[in-house]
Amino acid sequence: MAPGRRSGTLGYCARAMRIPSPLAGVAGEYFVAGELSRRGYIASISLRNTRGIDIVATNAEASRSITIQCKTSQVARKVWVLNEKSEEFVSATHFYVFVALGGVSERPTYHVVPSSDVAKQTRELHREWLLKPGRGGRKHVDNAVRNFSDRRDAYLERWDLLGL
C-alpha cells in the first residue's frame, strides 16, 4: 500500500478524507458527548427536531444542567458558519462547542463558547461586513449567514466555562 494511504474499501488519504456535511455534524455531536463523558459529566444527545440544542449535559450530582449546540468543521480552520438566529438564542446555560475534526487519525479540537459571546461576535462581525464594500466597491446585501471565529484560541478547550 502507498505511504499515507489507509486500508479499507475507500482507500482515501487519511488527511484528505471528507465526509458528507450531515455526517460531519453528527460526528461532531458524538465527539462532544464523548468528551463530556470522559470528563465525568452526563451527556445526552437530543433528537434532531430540537431547535438549537444538540446536547443536554449535567454534572454528576445533577445539580447543574446546560444545553449545547455543536457546529462542526472538517478542516482545522477556526471559522464556523452560523445563521442569524445565533444573535438571539442566548442563555446563561446555553453554550456552543465548535468542533474542528481535522484528519482521521487526529483528535478533534473543541472551542467552548458561551452563547452570549457567540451572539455578540456574530452581530459585530456581520455589522462590519455589511459596512465594508464588496467586489467592485458594491454594498453587501444583508443575508442570514453569520460567522464565528476563534483564530486566537481564546475558547480552545475551555470546558471550564460550562460551569459543570
Is the distance from CB of 82 to CB of 122 less than 8 angstroms?
yes
Q: What is the pLDDT of residue 14?
A: 47
Query: φ, ψ for residue 61 (rounded to 5)?
Result: -85, -5
Strands (DSSP E) contained in 12-142 are 42-45, 55-58, 65-73, 79-83, 94-100, 109-114
> What does the alpha-carbon distance between residue 40 and residue 19 come to, in Å, rounded to a whole number?
30
| pLDDT, tens only, 118-164 | 999 999 999 999 999 989 999 999 999 999 999 899 999 999 999 99
For 111-141, letters b (16+ CB in 10 Å) and e give bbbbbebbbebbeeebeeeeeeeeeeeeeee
Domains of the chain, earliest start first: 21-162 (3.40.1350.10)
| pLDDT, tens only, 44-97 | 999 876 788 999 999 999 999 999 999 999 987 789 999 999 999 999 999 999
Between strands 109-114 and 65-73, the pairing is unpaired
For residues 100 and 15, the model is more confident at 100
* Element housing 126 (H / E): helix 115-131
Q: Is the pLDDT confidence value at 4 over 60?
A: no
> What does the alpha-carbon distance between residue 158 and residue 143 come to, in Å, rounded to a whole number?
31
Question: Model pTM?
Answer: 0.85
Q: Is the pLDDT confidence value at 30 over 50?
A: yes
Q: What is the DSSP letter of 70?
A: E
Is the distance from CB of 65 to CB of 36 less than 8 angstroms?
no
Dihedral over Cα of 61, 157, 81, 143: its sign: positive
Is the distance from CB of 112 to CB of 161 less than 8 angstroms?
yes
| Cα 57–chain centre separation | 16
Confidence band (pLDDT; 50, 70, 90) for 6? Answer: very low
| pLDDT, tens only, 84-129 | 999 999 999 999 999 999 888 889 999 999 999 999 999 999 999 9
